């Protein structure tokens, strides 16, 4: 099996649960393609007392049949057990586990659990109720069971397991949200596969695809970033031609509504408030859009950035899934397939360069802990937020003054962060220096803050020293985003 990269915190938690003195029920969830199954297999290969994977869009009878086949396999039974309900299925599972002799805990792995619960059928599968009974009446009373449930449909995992108000209320002993790799974890993965891309190239790839392990596994490491993107999307036999639709259709039942929402957010890179989304989509109700935004956040497609000075009101929602952003901007409408070097030739065009600049802002936002580490405030209580001026919009339809990342420190200092992506040191002009001073002035006037303000630049290679660079109080460079976080 391929070597497990990163995931130090998750490995520690899984190991702790396996070695604990009680039975453990672990919920492991996260975006599709993020490596949930790979993580569990890497940790417990050869230790499974029972392993079952739900089937996508299979009816209840088919799910039960396959579950019975798994019981026959792990119970080493000569005949297929007869199970006509999930209560009978878990009774049969209990029977084989009671007769199974294994050193250490008996690991039960139920993968893609949301697919098992066929709630679209006329007769509810009763899967969750039977699972509750299995855990409460048997497994939880022992000290040798490790039950691991995974699922990409994160909303189902949270609503039916973590947020369960019935028999599983407060019964989940551990929850693990598996998130995309950070830049330093991507580098670890690439170096393990003898890929010699530098940090600039890895960052370019990250802006296109994000830190999704499955996409990393598809790379041809002997080729450039641009050549790989050509093979992913623009060749006649593109590797990821159907990925966008498959991704959303598998995760969400009402996928059209989710896709409509991410399209809207993709066209407003600066983000939108819930009220703005409601207005632009002419949504049926506030509850409807709240559910969609919540589920998109749970799957790491969207992130809500609290407005400066508010705890929740005015939250700005931004599309943060790099793959989705790239696909909607450059891939979806490119109907013609290319056998040559379409993206390799286009990557230096003006629209791509502008898009990279905007997307680097998002890279920085997704590495706030790395930014704090560089600023020397890792252990300090901080509040990260976004800010928009109330002075309206300019002729281009953009807010006259906006700061995507404000770091408000417990020691009463505030970092106003500017993010810039360039191939060399960033040069601050006289006009831009004046723009920064105006932005600081508007921020102080509107927020009424008396705290010292620090203009902080997050760039690829730093800010070039000149007569205008003195306005910059602190800097974070690309190299800092690749440094592993120190606990």
Q: Mind listing the pLDDT tens digit for each residue in 81-139?
A: 999 999 999 999 999 999 988 889 999 999 999 999 876 555 567 999 999 999 999 99
289/483 Cα distance (integer angstroms): 37
Determine if the pTM surpasses 0.75: yes
Mean pLDDT value across residues 229-250: 91
- The answer to whether 89 and 67 have CB atoms below 8 angstroms apart is yes
147/108 Cα distance (integer angstroms): 5
Q: How many residues does the chain have?
A: 487
Residue keyed to tokens 């990557």:
347
| Contact residues for 189 (Cβ-Cβ < 8 A; gap 6+) | 5, 6, 181, 213, 216
Task: Count Cα atoms within 13 angstroms, Cβ side, for 445.
Answer: 10
Q: Which domains does the chain have, with CATH numbers?
A: 8-177 (3.40.50.300), 244-330 (1.10.10.10), 367-481 (3.40.1350)
Above 80 in pLDDT, residue 285? no
Which CA distances in Å does 221 have to 34, 193, 218, 246? 20, 7, 9, 25
- The answer to whether 213 and 34 have CB atoms below 8 angstroms apart is yes
pLDDT digits (tens, 9 = 90+) for 124-178: 679 999 999 999 999 999 999 999 999 988 888 888 888 877 778 788 999 999 9
pLDDT of residue 396: 52
Above 70 in pLDDT, residue 57? yes
Short-list 403, 477, 475, CA closest to 446: 403
pLDDT digits (tens, 9 = 90+) for 360-414: 999 999 999 999 999 999 999 999 999 989 876 555 555 568 899 999 999 999 9
Which CA distances in Å does 456 have to 310, 367, 434? 22, 15, 15
The sign of the torsion formed by the CA atoms of 178, 180, 184, 190 equals positive
Q: Give me the chain's average pLDDT, please.
A: 92
187/327 Cα distance (integer angstroms): 23
474/246 Cα distance (integer angstroms): 43
DSSP letter at 389 equals -
Residue 321 CB neighbours (<10 A): 24
37-40, Cβ contacts within 8 angstroms, sequence gap of 24 or more: 37/111, 37/150, 38/2, 38/4, 38/213, 39/4, 39/7, 39/10, 39/11, 39/14, 39/178, 40/14, 40/109, 40/111, 40/148, 40/150
């Amino acid at each position: 099996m391929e070597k497990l990269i990163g995931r130090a915190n998750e490995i520690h938690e899984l190991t702790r649960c396996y070695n604990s003195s009680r039975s453990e029920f672990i919920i492991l969830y996260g975006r599709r393609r993020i490596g949930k199954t790979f993580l569990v297999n890497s940790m417990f290969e050869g230790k499974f007392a029972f392993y079952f994977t739900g089937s996508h869009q299979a009816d209840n009878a088919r799910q039960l049949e396959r579950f019975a086949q798994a019981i026959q396999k792990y119970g080493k039974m000569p005949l297929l057990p007869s199970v006509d309900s999930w209560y009978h299925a878990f009774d049969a599972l209990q029977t084989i586990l009671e007769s199974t002799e294994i050193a250490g805990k008996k690991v039960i792995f139920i993968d893609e659990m949301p697919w098992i619960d066929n709630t679209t059928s006329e007769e509810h599968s009763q899967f969750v109720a039977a699972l509750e009974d299995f855990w409460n009446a048997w497994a939880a009373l022992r000290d040798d069971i490790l039950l691991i449930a995974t699922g990409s449909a994160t909303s189902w995992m949270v609503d039916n397991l973590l947020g369960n108000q019935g028999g599983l209320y407060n019964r989940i002993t551990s929850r693990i949200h598996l998130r995309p790799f950070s830049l330093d974890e991507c580098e670890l993965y690439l170096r393990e596969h003898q890929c010699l891309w530098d940090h600039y190239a890895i960052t370019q790839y990250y802006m296109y695809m994000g830190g999704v392990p499955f996409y990393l596994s598809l790379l041809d490491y002997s080729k450039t970033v641009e050549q790989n993107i050509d093979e992913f999307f623009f060749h006649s036999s593109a590797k990821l031609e159907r990925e966008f639709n498959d991704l959303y259709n598998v995760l969400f039942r009402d996928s059209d509504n989710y896709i409509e929402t991410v399209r809207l957010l993709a066209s407003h890179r600066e983000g939108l408030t819930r009220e703005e989304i409601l207005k632009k989509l002419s949504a049926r109700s506030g509850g409807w859009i709240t559910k969609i935004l919540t589920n998109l956040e749970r799957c790491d497609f969207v992130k809500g950035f609290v407005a400066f000075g508010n705890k929740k009101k005015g939250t700005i929602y931004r599309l943060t899934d790099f793959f989705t952003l790239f696909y909607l901007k450059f891939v979806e409408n490119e109907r013609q397939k290319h056998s040559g070097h379409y993206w390799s030739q286009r990557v230096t065009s003006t629209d791509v360069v502008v898009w990279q600049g905007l997307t680097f802002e998002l890279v920085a936002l997704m590495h706030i802990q790395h930014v704090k580490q560089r600023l020397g405030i890792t252990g300090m209580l901080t509040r990260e937020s976004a800010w928009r001026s109330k002075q309206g919009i300019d002729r281009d339809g953009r807010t006259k003054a906006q700061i995507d990342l404000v770091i408000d420190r417990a020691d009463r200092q505030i970092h106003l962060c500017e993010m810039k992506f360039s191939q060399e040191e960033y040069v601050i002009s006289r006009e831009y220096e004046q723009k920064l001073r105006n932005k600081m002035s508007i921020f102080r006037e509107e927020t009424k803050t008396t705290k010292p303000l620090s203009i902080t630049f997050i760039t690829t290679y730093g800010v070039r020293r000149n007569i205008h660079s003195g306005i910059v109080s602190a800097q974070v460079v690309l190299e800092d985003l690749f440094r592993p976080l120190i606990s």
